[in-house]
Amino acid sequence: MELRNLATIYLFKEDSVLLIERTGSRVFKGTLWSGIGGHFESDEINDPTKCILRELYEETGIKNEDISNLKLRYITSRKADKEIRQQYIFFAHMKNINKNIIACDEGEISWINTQDLFNRKMSFTNSECLKHYFEEGFKDDTIYSGAVSVVNEKPNMNWVALRDFSAEY
């Protein structure tokens, strides 16, 4: 069993969110919309923030100083084939709303109105994360952990709010 660590960011500007339309990979066929992000490099394995800031810059040209309120909000896990995929999902806002986005060779990047967000084909994990965020997650800075299971042959996301816990044993 291998581990695949990924980081994704959903970046907001007014009533829009920045998404990338990706076409095919070794993980999926067809076209999927998602936040900006990708796989951890070896020096980022314990630093998902470093990973997402690198991915954001590589795919869009947006730097840390162009955004505000960057927060890790979700950590999701799912088993797929011979991998356990763990995804760290961040949310932030554009500080520099006039910043130009560079062309990306990994897909087409667009600002999508939040009203149209769920009309896009997304992975189950990303869709469930965004649904939870708009229903509950935006209310405070809680970090949620989500695990994908299968119930009656359909995927199901189980959310848990992470809380501080320390105990001496």
**Whole-angstrom distance, CA of residue 24 vs CA of residue 27:** 8
Flag whether pLDDT at 64 surpasses 60: yes
User: For the chain, which domains are there?
Assistant: 2-161 (3.90.79.10)
Q: Are 92 and 104 in contact (CB under 8 A)?
A: no
Q: Other C-beta atoms within 10 Å of 46: how many?
A: 9
Q: Is the pTM of this model over 0.75?
A: yes
pLDDT tens-place string over residues 126-153: 999 999 999 998 889 999 999 998 888 8
Question: What is the phi/psi pair of residue 124, to 5°?
Answer: -55, -45
Which band of pLDDT confidence, cut at 50, 70 and 90, is reported for residue 125? very high
Q: Find the helix or strand (DSSP H, E) in which 116 lies.
A: none
Supply the pLDDT for residue 29.
62
- Give the CA distances from residue 88 to residues 67, 75, 96, in Å, rounded to whole numbers and listed in that order: 18, 5, 24
Mean pLDDT for all residues in the chain: 90
Which band of pLDDT confidence, cut at 50, 70 and 90, is reported for residue 25? low
Supply the pLDDT for residue 102.
79
pLDDT tens-place string over residues 150-160: 888 899 899 99
- Give the CA distances from residue 156 to residues 35, 124, 137, 144, 149, in Å, rounded to whole numbers and listed in that order: 21, 9, 18, 15, 5
Which band of pLDDT confidence, cut at 50, 70 and 90, is reported for residue 115? very high
Supply the pLDDT for residue 101.
82
The DSSP line for 8-60 is EEEEEETTEEEEEEEE--SS--SEEEE-EEEEPPGGGTT-HHHHHHHHHHHHH
Least confident interval from 3-7, 13-17, 30-34, 109-113? 30-34
